[in-house]
Amino acid sequence: MRIDDQRRMMITDVLLGVGMFGLSLGALYIWKLGDETNVRPLDLWVVPLVGLQTLSLIWRRKFPVTVLSLTIIGFVIDRGLNYPSSWAFFGIAFAMYTVGAQLEPRRSLLIGGITLDIVLLWTVVGIIVNDVDPLALLSELAVLGFPLMLGRESYHRQRRMVELERRAIRAEHEREQRAAEAVRNERVRIARELHDVVAHEITVMTLQTTGARRVLETDSDRATQAMVAAEAAGHRALTEMRRLLGMLRTSDPRATAPQPGLDSLESLVEQMNLAGLETELTVRGEARAVPIGVDLNAYRIIQESLTNTLKHGGPNVSAAIEVAYDKSSLSVQVTDDGRGASTTQHPQNGEGQGLVGMHERVALLEGSLSAGPKPGGGYRVTAEIPIPA
């Protein structure tokens, strides 16, 4: 609790105790509100008795049980000596509220119940001995029972507020951790993509321009060839940089190890065969190096298609991969002889996200993709990916 709050509550309690003390004595001595018949005449002993029931409220938050005990002692002596009734009795009500608001619910109910029994029992004695009005029992029950219940409700409300504040702090801390982790992951991802996609081409450009500078005066043909190679590497770097910016918009951080490509297909086929999916690889045309973005995404499309076959193709299924190189495009096709399309592959059912991902990869490369059951059974995925000149 802040120091300002503590000071404010202390000032409030001082004003409450002193104010009730002054009002109670004023009601007795000045306004004669307690001028009743068959009561003890006022004397100086009234002052400490009123003080026990009122001034002790100054410390009610710090010592709630002690303050309640002092107010009860003052009340019992006051009633036992048959002094005129005073407003000091309401000090017990404030003390009862504080007990309900400050203590654990079971303890507050126990202490409040004992206090209420003492007050009611002493009032019964007053009814018998001093002809006290029996209706005083009802008024005391209301004046003391209601503050206790109100204090208990305040206790529960304070606990709920503390819990909500604790949850808010924990949630804010978790959000900060997630944000920091996302930043770290994004930095790692950017570093990986820059290394895999751009650094290679820039290295080629650097080496080729260095070689061209060294042979520029002695072998102009070789220098020209080196500069042409550096120019081509620069164009590839620009193309892949544009694709990199598009890829960074996704939120799928991956490992920093080099990404696989079409040259890893034989290893992928071996993995599928070991997993129980008989897979065959066919390469048509002259295999050649393609931009890294095309290489990686073509591999991922094949990988995801085979994964779907493993999941949904059924038993004794086999698959075939066909990679065809053309002058300006790369064609990838994966077919299987399984059960074909199933409802679990449909994106609208909350699954089939791999198929959605394949469409996004091909769209990023400005290509086209078709996927669906083939005649005679089975499933086919075909992707056409342009290769920049």
pLDDT per residue, tens digit, the chain (389 aa), is 566 778 888 899 899 989 989 988 888 877 665 455 677 788 888 889 999 999 999 999 999 999 999 998 988 888 778 788 788 888 889 999 999 998 988 898 899 888 888 888 888 887 787 766 777 788 788 888 888 899 889 889 988 988 888 888 888 888 888 888 877 776 665 665 555 456 556 766 776 787 788 888 888 888 888 788 778 777 777 776 766 666 555 544 444 445 788 998 998 888 777 667 899 999 999 888 888 888 888 998 998 888 888 778 877 889 999 999 998 899 999 999 987 655 444 444 434 566 877 888 888 888 999 999 988 889 999 999 998 76
* DSSP-based three-state secondary structure for 379: strand
Give one DSSP letter per residue of 93-139, joined into a string: HHHHHHHHHHS-HHHHHHHHHHHHHHHHHHHHHHHHHH---TTHHHH
What is the C-alpha separation between 89 and 71, in angstroms, rounded? 8
Residue 244: its pLDDT value, please? 64
Give one DSSP letter per residue of 42-79, joined into a string: P-TTHHHHHHHHHGGGGGTTTSHHHHHHHHHHHHHHHH
CA distances from 356 to 33, 58, 319, 347 (A): 85, 70, 21, 7
Residue 189: its pLDDT value, please? 59
Sequence-ordered list of residues with C-beta below 8 angstroms from that of 306, at least 6 positions apart, any chain = 268, 272, 277, 279, 319, 321, 334
Which amino acid is residue 337, in one-letter code?
D
pTM (global) more than 0.75: no
Residue 243: its pLDDT value, please? 63
Dihedral sign computed on CA atoms, order 65, 69, 71, 72: positive
* DSSP-based three-state secondary structure for 332: strand
What is the C-alpha separation between 376 and 118, in angstroms, rounded? 93
Contact predicate 211/182, CB 8 Å: no
CATH of 262-386, one of 1.10.10.10, 3.40.190.10, 1.10.287.3610, 3.30.565.10: 3.30.565.10
CB neighbourhood size of 35 (10 A):
11
| CA 236 centroid distance within chain | 42
Residue 78: its pLDDT value, please? 84
Residue 257: its pLDDT value, please? 45
Residues in the chain: 389
Residue 348: its pLDDT value, please? 43
**Tokens standing for 343?**
């409802």
Residue 258: its pLDDT value, please? 56
Residue 345: its pLDDT value, please? 46
**Tokens standing for 67?**
């303050």
What is the C-alpha separation between 387 and 330, in angstroms, rounded? 7
Rg, Å, the chain Cα set: 44
The boundaries of every CATH 3.30.565.10 domain in the chain are 262-386
Contact predicate 87/25, CB 8 Å: no
Helices vs strands, H then E, count in the chain: 11, 5
Quote the DSSP letter at residue 8: H
CA atoms lying within 13 Å on the CB side of residue 376 = 4
What is the C-alpha separation between 71 and 76, in angstroms, rounded? 9
What is the C-alpha separation between 358 and 380, in angstroms, rounded? 13
Residue 32: its pLDDT value, please? 62
Quote the DSSP letter at residue 263: G
* DSSP-based three-state secondary structure for 170: helix
φ/ψ of 165, rounded to 5, equals -65, -40
What is the C-alpha separation between 33 and 87, in angstroms, rounded? 9
Nearest to 58 by CA among 1, 10, 119, 111: 10
**Tokens standing for 93?**
């009500």
Which amino acid is residue 136, in one-letter code?
A
